[in-house]
Amino acid sequence: MRWAAPRLPYDSRFRPANVTAMNDDRAWVHTAIDALAREAARSADTHLLKINLPGFAGIDFYFKDEASHPTGSLKHRLARSLYLYALCNGRLRKGQPTVDASSGSTAIAEAWFARLLGLRFTAVMPAATAPAKIRAVEALGGACDLVEDPSQVHARAAWHAANGACHLDQFGLAERATDWRGNNNIAESILGQLEHEPHAQPAWIVCGAGTGGTSATIGRYLRYRRLPTQLCVAEPSGSAYVHGFRNRDARACASQPTLIEGIGRPRVEPCFLFDVVDAVIEVPDAASIAATWSLDELLARRYGGSSGTNFVACLELAAQMRARGERGSIVSLLCDRGERYAETLFDPDWLTAHRIDCKPWRAHLDDCVRSGTAPLPGPA
């Protein structure tokens, strides 16, 4: 079906001399918003996969498969929201290039939406980003501006913005670009999908914090819906979020780097809302990576490292529930596809080079799944 460009509300011939007409630019904004609305209408919701683990009778686990978006990660939702937010704020004009700092998943989704809208897009990324992610951005027509020092990505994106690009600014805007009261945000989607399940109000929802947008949206929505569900942020050991949460300190920095992409930020990002989070669980990188193998066995599909981090935190919370004799459900996210990490997390030589030994963790996690015991602190 052909669709018509939105019509101007009045004919310029009858315009009083002192009123400026809606210009071409505004008509383009309408066309662009229309394109985003139609993309959303064509999209299906992501699956909420259910698994039961032998050691955890009475506790149902659900995983929201955000890898099944067209761009392979939960950042598909964010990218759509960021473009919409830039357009509705009058910050993005016809023909204007776009830019963002990203560890990869957001860049892939933003490049995808830039192509949809006929815009140029540049991703500013750390040079160490998984090569498959860089190739994915380029395949979508995006440009990659790689910086050696990961702490310089924000400054570099600001430089592009100073030269005329629209800064989509995932780290500055994720939390407000997402409509937290609903509009099919991830929290509304999860709770809708749980509606007919035995434990429709989960005991816990578990997610990581990259921009902090997902945790902010879920935390706000749980309150808005007046649910008893608690929110747990699962993070790599020693991340800025871990330290910041402890003392509500927005100046906290990570005490160690992480190999898990998408989460474990080196600094407290502007969209981290500590007040809506009930618990933070720290997960060592080796445990997160080993847990992606457990997920592969349980779901017959490979997911990225942050999904493994979530899984370990789910087991930890489930073991605590089991020890207290509680039943209920725990929901978490499968954040992105494992294929992206074939040359990193899933390459044994790469792991050896980064001094990661997953074997003890794999055996330990298998044990926890069988026996219903807590995975942390785990093997040294």
Ligand X SMILES: *Cc1c(COP(=O)(O)O)cnc(C)c1O
- Give the residues lining the site for ligand X (CB under 6 A): 73-75, 105, 174, 208-215, 262-263, 304, 306, 335-336
Nearer to ligand X, 212 or 244 (CB): 212
With b for 16 or more beta-carbon neighbours within 10 A and e for fewer, the 83-116 pattern comes to bbbbbeeeebbbeebbbbbbbbbbbbbbbbbbeb
Residue labelled with tokens 């794999």: 362
Minimal distance, residue 334 CB to ligand X, in Å: 9
Query: Which residue is at the shortest CB distance from ligand X?
Result: 262
Minimal distance, residue 93 CB to ligand X, in Å: 26
Minimal distance, residue 205 CB to ligand X, in Å: 13
Nearer to ligand X, 104 or 202 (CB): 104
Minimal distance, residue 143 CB to ligand X, in Å: 20
Minimal distance, residue 187 CB to ligand X, in Å: 12
Q: How far apart, in whole angstroms, are the C-alpha atoms of residue 57 and residue 90?
A: 53
Minimal distance, residue 172 CB to ligand X, in Å: 12
Nearer to ligand X, 174 or 286 (CB): 174
Minimal distance, residue 100 CB to ligand X, in Å: 12
Minimal distance, residue 231 CB to ligand X, in Å: 12
Nearer to ligand X, 338 or 372 (CB): 338
Nearer to ligand X, 191 or 263 (CB): 263
Nearer to ligand X, 102 or 294 (CB): 102
- Residue 359, judged by CB atoms within 10 A of its CB (0-12, 13-18, 19+), counts as exposed
Give first-to-last CA distance, the chain, whole Å.
61
Nearer to ligand X, 98 or 129 (CB): 129
Nearer to ligand X, 239 or 294 (CB): 239
CA distances for 37 relative to 32, 84, 112, 250, 302, angstroms:
9, 9, 15, 35, 31
Minimal distance, residue 221 CB to ligand X, in Å: 13
CB count, 10 Å around CB of 318? Answer: 29
Nearer to ligand X, 347 or 367 (CB): 347
